[in-house]
Amino acid sequence: MTPELRHHERLLRYDIWANAEALRSLRQGSPPGHLLRWMGHIVGSECLWLARLLQEPPTLPVWPELDLDDCAARLNELADAWPRYLQGLAAEDLEDGVGYRNSKGEFWTSSVTDIMSHVVIHSGYHRGQIATGIRQAGGTPAYTDFIHAVRQGLAG
């Protein structure tokens, strides 16, 4: 695997771990509905982006109504699907354009590398919202910083 592909593999491995940690923190109690909705959105968005990359129809809407068990099952599926997708790529594929329609119906083309970067950054943004909401509700959010994952050997 090329350095570029290893970089994306590492970031996606981190993303898979961090999403599982965020989900675990939501299981501490009864999460406010908006926090579960954000977790569902992370899942729905990652499924949507992977479907776009694979040029397949999406399996979920971008804002699905999922419970914690549904989120866990879908995150497990994504944990298998992302590495499979990467195994089929060559370094030169990273700059390929992928055409898609966004949620507003607008047509866009983005590179594979930009899409994979977006997936990790987008999920991190919403994990931050989840962490804030858990803290505001009196709970302890998951510690999902990338550097923490690296220090603990969790991001490869």
Q: What is the 3-state secondary structure (H, E, C) of 92-117?
A: HHHHCEEEEECCCCCEEEEEHHHHHH
Residue 120 lies in a domain: yes
pLDDT confidence bin for 153, thresholds 50/70/90: confident
- pLDDT value at residue 155: 73
φ/ψ of residue 11, rounded to 5:
-65, -40
Q: What is the pLDDT of residue 156?
A: 64
User: Would you say residue 129 has pLDDT above 80?
Assistant: yes
Instruction: Read off the CATH number of the domain in which 108 is found.
Output: 1.20.120.450
* Mean per-residue pLDDT of the chain: 94
Range of the domain at 92: 3-151
Q: Confirm whether 123 is domain-assigned.
A: yes
Within-domain flag for 9:
yes
pTM for this structure?
0.94
The residue with tokens 């970089």 is: 7
d(CA 59, CA 117): 21
Q: How many domains does the chain have?
A: 1
Residue 64 tokens read as 């699905």
pLDDT in tens, 38-68: 999 999 999 999 999 999 999 999 999 999 9
In this prediction, residue 10 carries a pLDDT of 94
Would residue 156 count as lying in a domain?
Answer: no
Residue 83: inside a domain: yes
pLDDT score recorded for residue 11:
96
